[in-house]
Chain A
Amino acid sequence: MMFLEYSLIGIAAGGIYGLLALGFVFIFMASGVFNFATGQMMMLGAYFFLAFSKIPGLPWWAAFALAILGSIVVAIILEWVVIRRLIGQPVISAVMVTMGLGWMLQGTASLIWGQVPQQLPDVLPRAPIFIGEILVPGRSVWGFVIAIAVALASVVYFRYSRTGVALRATASDQITAYSMGINVPASIRLTWIMAAISTTFAGVIAGSINGVTPELSNVAISVIAVVLLGGVNSVGGVIIAGLMMGWLETISGVYLGGHWREVIPYLAVLLVLLVRPSGLFGSKLVERI
């Protein structure tokens, strides 16, 4: 019973990983950029929500909408001012630049909001939920439900909407997409906007469960592992991999001790990658000659 309970809590925590990984994968698929600032974007979204929720008389949902808007503005500026100039540059430049951007965002956040953990307004219902006989904290359940709903919505958008088709075309072959009249720079910008939305959702969910500090960004280190586990080009795969990661972390933390939760999941990812280098659900990138 304990095992089931912790499993559910772990999987619930993994919803956030899946959501974050999705933002990461969209950007990667459209432009080939590994966005190492994903965690910081998430942290910033949470702080935006905190800041806007302090405006007197503003309902929480309006504060949340403003937080999303703020994150989108930041993402658009980052993409437009910095990332766009990296097109055609070696992959490593993009890696270094997004890492640097991440540290800058994190530093700026600690300058503005300080290192002290802050509590987000209570948005998610606290009342525990019984699933059969098992008791799960309400915020975890609701956080999970929202994370998965947002993730699935963006998958549906990516898969079926016409804009999503343009995105997929861009992801698969930029040059051809461009010559068919698809506005490739706009498609790439759209992936940054989608990432801003998903990271803000993730940030607010994670922040309302554990509070917000600039170190919230570090959650995203697991996201890199999630993305590699699921496969960088698999939209559905990273969501499942996110849930697996959350489960592994919680279970190894509970049964082997807190330190192991930082070891076992990565070990598992390493093993999977040795057998399946393109991840559990990723398709092999075939080099055409």
Chain B
Amino acid sequence: MVSPAVDRLGAQSPSQPLLEVADVTLTFGGLHALSGVSVEFEEGTINAIIGPNGAGKTTLLNVISGFYLPQQGQIRFQGRDILSMPPSARATLGIARTFQNISLYRGMSVLENIKLGAHTTLRTNVLAGGFFSRATRRQEAALTQRIKEEIAPPLRLNEYLDDPVEGLAYGIQKRIELARALALSPKLLLLDEPVAGMNSSETEEMAKLIQRVRAEWDVTIIMIEHDMSLVMGISDRVAVLSLGQTVCEGTPAQVQTHPKAIEAYLGVDDDAVTEVHA
């Protein structure tokens, strides 16, 4: 099967991309959730995947993080095919993600939740489990310190670290999720609708945060987002997905005026088109 033609706009950098999605096809029963999707993500960029509901955006994110195994195609991370790796192994490589619905662990404090994100970076064996060894204690203390000094301040979470997560405001919970993903020291961060349900000032703050994360931690970002002000405001590249195919890809300015991008939205939702133009 030949992959459908994709309009690639703008110059591609000659260096090897951090993540390559090559000709990925995934079907559920007879339904083509993704058909021949190819898209590349350069290191150090902020990328957005947009498209109408049901276009396959979250499915693509799940393929990248390893929850779905496509029938065809390749996912290369730093040039290495990772399709055969389970989600936990991909996390160890440095692929972190947040979820559309907040998925924090109730009954644990904010700090404990964030620490869980760094679980794989702490090395202990199962039997010792690491409750008594001194090395474990030291690792743990270093992690707590890193969270308190590096991760929590930019996310303005220091004052909540000892609070239980339940009961905290929605915007704060979203920032905790981001902090937890950052605790993994990721190279690639997948954000599934990072500002869904946020008001405009919260959205603006999240936009600054995402840019800051990219700049200070050297993290490449791929986000799914419906909020066009965020997408067009901070993305370096935007890929438009429709009916499981990439219909166009380029800079925000290029995508906004691209007929195929407009068409993808026009078929489904008039409001979205005006948003694209805005």
Contacts and interface: CB of A to CB of B under 8 A. Distances in A.
Interface of B: 65-67, 86-89, 91-92, 96-97, 99, 101, 103, 105-107, 112, 116-117, 119-120, 122, 124, 126, 129-131, 136, 180, 184
Contacts of B106: 172
Given A160-B131, A172-B107, A180-B116, 7 more contacts: A161-B131, A162-B129, A176-B103, A179-B65, A179-B66, A181-B89, A185-B86
A173 B126 contact: no
Contacts of A178: 66-67, 86-88, 91
Given A180-B116, A180-B117, A164 B88 contact: no
B129 A184 contact: no
A172 B88 CA distance: 16
B88 A190 contact: no
Contacts of A182: 88, 119-120
B103 A163 contact: no
Nearest to A289: B101
Given A163-B126, A179-B97, A181-B184, A168 B131 contact: no
Contacts of B130: 161-163
Interface string A177-195: 0111111110000100000
A61 interface: no
Contacts of A180: 88, 91, 96, 116-117, 119-120, 180, 184
Interface of A: 157, 160-166, 168-169, 172-173, 175-176, 178-185, 190, 288
A176 B62 CA distance: 12
A171 B89 CA distance: 19
Given A182-B88, A182-B119, A162 B105 contact: no
Say whether chain A's binding surface is mostly helix, strand, loop, or mixed: helix
B103 A181 contact: no
A288 B99 CA distance: 14
6 contacts: A157-B131, A162-B124, A163-B126, A173-B103, A175-B67, A178-B91
A181 B131 contact: no
Contacts of A288: 101
Contacts of A183: 86, 88
A232 to B, nearest CB: 15
B41 to A, nearest CB: 18
B103 A175 contact: yes
B149 to A, nearest CB: 21
Contacts of A166: 119
Q: 9 shortest A-B CB distances, which residue pairs?
A: A161-B129, A181-B91, A181-B120, A178-B87, A176-B103, A163-B129, A183-B88, A162-B130, A161-B131
Nearest to B91: A181
A287 to B, nearest CB: 12
B210 to A, nearest CB: 19
A181 B126 contact: no
B171 to A, nearest CB: 18
A169 B131 contact: no
A173 B87 CA distance: 14
B117 A168 contact: no
Contacts of A162: 119, 122, 124, 129-131, 136
A260 B65 CA distance: 56
Nearest to B116: A169
Contacts of B124: 162-163
A28 B67 CA distance: 22
Contacts of B101: 288
Contacts of B91: 178-181
